[in-house]
Structure 1
Amino acid sequence: MNDVPRWAQDAAQPFLRAGWTVADVLHALNTRPDGSPWLNSAFAHGTHDWATHRLSAWVDGHGQPRAPRTAVVTQQSAQMRQQQAKRAAEVDAMRATRSGRQAQHAQRARQMLAAASPAAARSMQAPQPQEVERKPADRWERERRDQQAAAAIADGVIAEKDWEPPVEDEPVSPQTVALARARTRARLERERAQSRESTL
């Protein structure tokens, strides 16, 4: 009670007994429950009637003090943390789903290449060098996938219609990029070969 003005102590006692802090009482003396500031009053400032009038706005229909400002802020903070945790869990679940779909597309690409091209199958079955830190999209991995895809296309056993890329709202996998790059390279090689033959 030491920080509550003397003229407001009697009016503040029911609120302090209900768990309000001194800061809650001072806030209520200057702010309405809806958050708007008190602008004027029918009573003289700094009197018992003035404090009673302003604090009465913070009483519910049963004559009991409402939840203090500190309790409301604490509850709102807890709800915000719960919402943030929920959104984070949803994002993690979405990423896990996309990662699983990407792995399925990668497995399908390997199966198609192995079934369509003996050269690609031998390349995939060959032991790979050990790496201290493996990065799925590093240069060596991209070149190996390019070679597998190019071998299948050069054999003429995989055409563009045989490959169904992921839907547009999913991330493009490294395998899809490698296959598209290999198709372009194989097409250019064929066009160059045809051009050389036509000039002979």
Structure 2
Amino acid sequence: MSKPLVLMAALVGAGLSIVPVARAHCDAVGGPVATAALRALDTHNVNAVLPYVPASAEPELTTAFIQAMAVRTGGPDAKALADRSFMETAVRLHRAGEGAPHTGLKPAGTDFGPAIPAAEQALATGKAEPLLEFLSREIEHGVRERFAHAAGDKLKEPTSAADVPAAREHIREELGFIGYVEAIYLAIRDSRHAGAPAAADRCGH
């Protein structure tokens, strides 16, 4: 594996770049939690969705499941309402387990960017290489872009007040570039010394 791919593997292992968006992905109708909730209802098997919530939330979700199953028998409209309510409950409890707020289900088809579909495709196919190549290109682009801005013109020490704004902007770009590189390094270092986040804390992973 090339050095960029090793770097990307470490970043994916650390769960650094895509976790915030992936967690938002959990709020979507087509996300993994809502999908598991519907699968649980369709198969009459609450266990299909229980892994997405902490153990302490199992009683509440199981009660909601029993109620939804009963309401579902009342016709198409009742079924739609029961399904929506159960999905909401499952996602809310999942988000609470992450210590994150839940502001309601996002509609199906919400665009969460290319990373989550790429990660899901990797899981579906059992092949990580296309995902690693994609992430490698993204981080290379990020480093090159920030480097070009930070190293474009050598910083000249301001000799007058008029020179200060330009110098300040240049320093901001230099420090931003250094911080970006440091964040990558810390992700690699931390992934070596700590296990990957628990599956229940990484929606869509």
Q: Mark the structure with the bigger radius of gyration.
A: 1
TM-score after normalising by structure 2: 0.21
Higher RCO (Cα < 8 Å, 6 or more apart)? 2
Higher helix content, 1 or 2: 2
TM-score after normalising by structure 1: 0.21
